[in-house]
């Protein structure tokens, strides 16, 4: 087990993967996390941007892991593309997300349902 895999194992995002998939998925998650950190708003930026970034980070790592499994062994999309594509989806479907949050008994269920909608949309375009 390499250092990157050791780092991501405690998150639970590598559970259920084959030995081959574990190292590859851990590397993809690490690249994605580094991209998010590098492109996060600076502390002096508008609080609205921080809220959007927080929301993005809450979704994108679990979505990336789920997408990895759904499209493996196809080539996984570039992490920059994934973040930008999800941001676009989130902005276009923000009203739907808010409706799901209001109608669901749990915000986690609403987030999970929204994530599933994105994954279905994304997989259909890959």
Radius of gyration of the chain from Cα atoms? 15
The DSSP string of 32-92 is: HHHHHHHTSPPTTS-HHHHHHHHHHHHHHHHHHHHHHHHHTTSPPPPHHHHHHHHHHHHHH
For 16, the token pair is 């259920």
**For residues 64 and 13, what is the distance between their CA atoms, to the nearest angstrom?**
10
pLDDT by residue (tens digit) across 15-30?
A: 999 888 899 899 989 9
Give the pLDDT score at 46. Answer: 65
**For residues 85 and 5, what is the distance between their CA atoms, to the nearest angstrom?**
26
Total number of domains in the chain: 1
Range of the domain at 112: 3-125
pLDDT (tens place) for every residue of the chain, 126 residues total: 899 999 999 999 999 998 888 998 999 899 988 888 887 766 655 666 666 667 777 788 888 888 888 876 677 778 888 888 888 888 888 888 888 888 877 777 877 888 888 888 888 877
Give the pLDDT score at 6. Answer: 95
Q: What is the pTM of this model?
A: 0.75
Give the pLDDT score at 12. Answer: 93
């Amino acid at each position: 087990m390499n250092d990157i895999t050791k780092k991501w194992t405690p998150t639970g995002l590598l559970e259920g993967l084959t030995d081959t998939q574990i190292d590859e998925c851990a590397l993809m998650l690490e690249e994605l996390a580094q991209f998010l950190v590098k492109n996060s708003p600076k502390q002096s930026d508008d609080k609205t941007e921080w809220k959007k970034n927080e929301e993005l980070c809450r979704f994108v790592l679990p979505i990336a892991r789920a997408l990895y499994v759904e499209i493996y062994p196809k080539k996984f999309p570039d992490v920059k593309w994934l973040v930008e594509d999800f941001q676009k989806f989130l902005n276009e479907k923000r009203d739907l997300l808010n409706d799901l949050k209001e109608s669901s008994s749990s915000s986690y269920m609403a987030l999970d349902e929204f994530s599933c909608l994105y994954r279905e949309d994304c997989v259909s375009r890959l």
